[in-house]
Amino acid sequence: MERSVIVDKMRFDYEGLFSLPELYKLIDEWLEEKNYDKKELKNIERVSHDSKYVEIEILPWKKVSDYVKNEIHMHMFFSELKDVEIVKDGVKVKLNSGKIHIIFDGYLNTDYENRWEGKPIFFFLRTVFDKFLYKPWMSGFESGVKNDVNALRDRMKSFLNLYRF
């Protein structure tokens, strides 16, 4: 399998009020909408006497074709989390207050089933195939990964801006 880095360490920071369960639900809905499957690599929660620290690492992936697979690696850090209760439109709402730091990486995997790496002649043919025949399509696949990462980040930004009072 050959892995190309399309988006490298795109960062997103936010500080203020938000709902962590709603944010996670938004990510799941977006991934389902875009036909991504999700693998959760890490989910850590540390509780101290006055706040929480949550670290979540997920790896959504989508098979674009029999040869190409998109991956979005998200490493999310939630620090200084505190539960707060605010009154909005006369209704008490439970939210979280804290800092969010998210790192996005976007990858394009080719030959993810290792069909072209069994023999040296197949590896050579795959290289020729990628370099000359499949190159116009690869740029479209690369822009697809970049667009998906940007769309997910923008959706999360829009969601978090709803909590600014």
pLDDT of residue 59: 97
pLDDT of residue 164: 67
pLDDT of residue 54: 96
* CA 146/CA 143 separation, integer angstroms: 5
List the alpha helices (DSSP H) in 87-134: 120-128
Q: How does pLDDT run across 24-82, given as a tens digit for each residue?
A: 999 999 999 999 999 999 999 999 989 999 999 999 999 998 889 999 999 999 999 99
* CA 6/CA 70 separation, integer angstroms: 10
- pTM of the predicted structure, to 2 decimals: 0.86
pLDDT of residue 1: 76
* CA 23/CA 82 separation, integer angstroms: 16
Q: How does pLDDT run across 99-151, given as a tens digit for each residue?
A: 999 999 999 998 777 777 777 887 788 778 777 777 788 888 999 999 999 99
Residue range 78-91: mean pLDDT, rounded = 90
Contact call for residues 10 and 153 (beta carbons, < 8 A): yes
pLDDT of residue 163: 73
pLDDT of residue 98: 95
pLDDT of residue 165: 58
Whether 5 shows a pLDDT value over 70: the answer reads: yes
pLDDT of residue 128: 82
